[in-house]
DNA sequence: TTCGTTGCAAACATTTTGCAGTTTC
DNA sequence: GAAACTGCAAAATGTTTGCAACGAA
């Protein structure tokens, strides 16, 4: 990974960072994670590239948790669990949304459906004590 | 509705406003809607009361759409469709999330589940042209 | 007089943007 | 040189908060 084209060095590092973690990071988390290795990285660049990746479909957005947008480098459709206490986001890979539901939604909404998102909210094991 | 206790006049108006519309309004929408009738209403009061209602479970939050938080006065669990173009939010009342899914999620997440949210995203009829 | 509610404006946090400098082709 | 990418700081946005004033009990 080290000898990439310098032109895209930061861009690639940002994408890799989102893809290699399971924390469903925020822009700020990515910045803090990369800053020690890339000392001249700026937060604006992180925001700009995340927006670009999202537009290109390389990553997805989970929406905002406690006011900050969270991203997911895993673009396979899957279900999420969000802890309302600590804001942790976990994948629930064992669960799948039945395709019949999406079909029914398409029939019912009057428009076209591009994606779906199923999120369970509650308290994670740690926050339950 | 007009002769309510003056102490809660604004509070009640805000709650009624969220409950009586299907647009899944933002704080700003509620403010703009009520301001003509309640000329000394302030946006801070709208935010404060919406936060209060949410905490009390009188309304729910859909999360943010295009950067602004949207609320729902209908607290019965139901599925939403959000237009990624115009930001319109519709209820899909014909569709229900199977309870087995929630059970499976509870078993899989390791914590406790308090709520679930299923959102379909796409283009509404108007934005499809 | 005590408490809850409010308007107002300032503060705040997150995200976006303008611009100049740099690198790549 | 043109185009793409970036750092930096300023700006924009949505939301929260402190405080004094007011109204109800």
- Write down the domain spans for chain A: 1-73, 76-129
- Which residue has better confidence, B129 or B11? B11
- Quick one: fold of B1-73? Arc Repressor Mutant, subunit A (1.10.10)
Per-residue confidence (pLDDT) for residue A8, from 0 to 100: 81
HEC sequence for A72-101: ECCCCCCEEEEECCCCCEEEECCCCCCHHH
- Phi/psi at B7 (5° precision): -60, -35
> A95 and B101: CB-CB below 8 Å?
yes
Average of pLDDT values for B29-34? Answer: 98
* pLDDT tens per residue, range B61-101: 999 999 999 999 999 999 999 999 999 999 999 999 999 99
Is residue A4 scored above 60 in pLDDT? Answer: no
Residues of B in contact with A94 (CB under 8 A): 104, 108
Is residue B22 scored above 70 in pLDDT? Answer: yes
CATH superfamily, domain A76-129, is Ferric-uptake regulator, C-terminal dimerisarion domain (3.30.1490.190)
Average of pLDDT values for B47-59? Answer: 98
Find and give the residue nearest to C4, measured CA to C1'.
B7
CA of A8 to C1' of D12 (A): 29
Per-residue confidence (pLDDT) for residue B129, from 0 to 100: 81
Which of the four pLDDT bands, split at 50, 70 and 90, describes residue B8?
Answer: confident
Average of pLDDT values for A6-25? Answer: 94
Percentage of chain A exceeding pLDDT 90 = 93
Is residue B7 scored above 50 in pLDDT? Answer: yes
Q: Which nucleotides of C are covered by protein (CB under 7 A)?
A: 5-10, 13-18, 23-25
Q: Say how many residues make up chain A.
A: 129
As given in the structure block, the two tokens for residue A86 are 């600590």
| Alpha-carbon torsion (A85, B81, B35, B4), positive or negative | negative
């Amino acid at each position: 990974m080290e000898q990439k084209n310098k032109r895209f060095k930061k861009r690639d590092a940002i994408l890799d960072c989102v893809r290699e973690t399971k924390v469903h990071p925020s822009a700020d988390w990515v910045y803090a994670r990369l800053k020690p290795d890339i000392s001249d990285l700026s937060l604006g660049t992180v925001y700009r590239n995340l927006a670009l990746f999202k537009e290109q479909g390389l990553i997805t957005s989970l929406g905002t948790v406690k006011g900050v947008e969270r991203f997911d480098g895993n673009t396979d459709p899957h279900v999420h669990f969000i802890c309302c206490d600590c804001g942790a986001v976990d994948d629930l890979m064992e669960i799948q949304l039945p395709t019949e539901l999406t079909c029914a939604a398409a029939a019912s909404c009057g428009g076209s459906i591009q994606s779906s998102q199923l999120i369970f909210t509650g308290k994670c094991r740690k926050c339950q004590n």
